[in-house]
């Protein structure tokens, strides 16, 4: 439920539906809690509702070794002994990553398809009673956190 609502909010709230860029630079936050935004975006990628676009800036991805200095340090300071070739790890920085919905031949169509599917599946009339309760609880949580953020 949380991932679906997040994906729909992301698509609806984004300055452009495809690709989704620079969530950290948005004027208003996607979620009242910045750490929660990072976690939610990570969950969207892990759940495969969204994918990381190839145009994502290199600094949005985690590499090993993390820097040339680190490679030199790992080789004992000997530049001739540096053999490490940067390799991409599984970690990334969601707030600066470029994301897209992979459900069609184009990013725009994929985003529209995901929006339509999520809208339909999250319509209260289409939800079983337990999932309706989950949706209400999520709305309550978000409204409470937004009120705390606003008045802080």
Burial of 4 (0-12, 13-18, 19+ CB in 10 A): buried
In a domain, 70, yes or no: no
In a domain, 119, yes or no: yes
pLDDT of residue 149: 87
Going by C-alpha positions, the residue among 23, 93, 25 that lies closest to residue 57 is 93
The parent domain of residue 14 ranges over: 2-55+94-151
pTM of the model: 0.82
In a domain, 116, yes or no: yes
In a domain, 63, yes or no: no
pLDDT of residue 125: 94
- Overall number of domains in the chain: 1
- What sign does the CA torsion over 87, 105, 48, 141 have? positive
In a domain, 79, yes or no: no
Please say if the pLDDT value at position 111 is more than 90. yes
pLDDT of residue 3: 95
pLDDT of residue 97: 94
In a domain, 45, yes or no: yes
pLDDT of residue 138: 95
Give the whole-angstrom CA distance, residue 61 versus residue 78. 27
The tens digit of pLDDT for each residue in 19-73 reads: 999 898 888 888 888 889 999 999 999 999 999 999 999 899 998 888 888 888 8
In a domain, 42, yes or no: yes
In a domain, 27, yes or no: yes
């Amino acid at each position: 439920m949380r991932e679906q609502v997040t994906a729909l909010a992301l698509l609806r709230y984004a300055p452009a539906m495809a690709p989704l860029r620079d969530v950290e630079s948005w004027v208003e936050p996607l979620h009242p809690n910045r750490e929660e935004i990072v976690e939610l975006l990570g969950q969207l990628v892990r759940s495969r509702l969204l994918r990381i676009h190839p145009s994502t800036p290199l600094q949005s991805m985690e590499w090993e070794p993390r820097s040339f200095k680190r490679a030199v340090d790992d080789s004992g300071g000997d530049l001739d002994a540096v053999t490490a070739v940067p390799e991409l790890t599984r970690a990334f920085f969601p707030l600066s990553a470029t994301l897209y919905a992979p459900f069609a031949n184009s990013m725009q169509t994929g985003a529209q398809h995901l929006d339509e599917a999520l809208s339909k599946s999250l319509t209260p009339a289409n939800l079983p009673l337990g999932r309706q309760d989950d949706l209400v609880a999520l709305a309550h949580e978000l409204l409470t956190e937004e009120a705390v953020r606003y008045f802080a």
